[in-house]
Amino acid sequence: MVQYAVQLDRTFAAVADPTRRGILERLGRGEASISDLAADFRMTLTGMKKHVQVLEGAGLVTTEKVGRVRHCRVGPRRLDDEVKWIGMYQEMLEGRLNRLGEFLKRSKGKPS
């Protein structure tokens, strides 16, 4: 349970940044090195490395060093737990709106 919570913390924090979401979208089109990514996002190598580390820590990016170049690709984590958590929130919200609807219907039916 704690492990599950830590994982949700990490993934949601990782994708809460527009540059990091952009990096994932870029890697979705094909592998890239840290230098490629830094150039694409007009960022220093150090800045890009930090973003990639956060994504790697969340399991959303895998890196592999070949010679002096570090290659990045998406994965391996699927975000099934995150989708499930958001689904639970949606259900709670729907439940509240249904209860509110029922309440309003009952209030309308009563003589004022």
- Contacting residues toward a copy of itself, per CB under 8 A: 5, 8-9, 12-13, 15-18, 21, 24-25, 27-28, 60, 73-76, 78-79, 82-83, 85-93, 95-97
The Cα–Cα gap between 45 and 112 comes to 69
Q: Which is nearer to a copy of itself, 17 or 44 (CB)?
A: 17
Cα–Cα distance list, 78 to 3, 44, 64, 101 (Å): 16, 29, 19, 36
Q: Are 54 and 14 in contact (CB under 8 A)?
A: yes
Helix (H, G, I), strand (E, B) or coil at 62: strand
Report the nearest approach of a copy of itself to the CB of residue 31 (Å): 9
Q: Are 11 and 59 in contact (CB under 8 A)?
A: yes
Q: Which is nearer to a copy of itself, 47 or 87 (CB)?
A: 87
Report the nearest approach of a copy of itself to the CB of residue 111 (Å): 26
Q: Which is nearer to a copy of itself, 30 or 67 (CB)?
A: 30
Q: Which is nearer to a copy of itself, 49 or 82 (CB)?
A: 82
Residue with tokens 């002096």: 68
Report the nearest approach of a copy of itself to the CB of residue 17 (Å): 7
Token duo for residue 5: 């919570």
The total of other beta-carbon atoms located within 10 Å of residue 73's CB is: 14
Report the nearest approach of a copy of itself to the CB of residue 92 (Å): 3
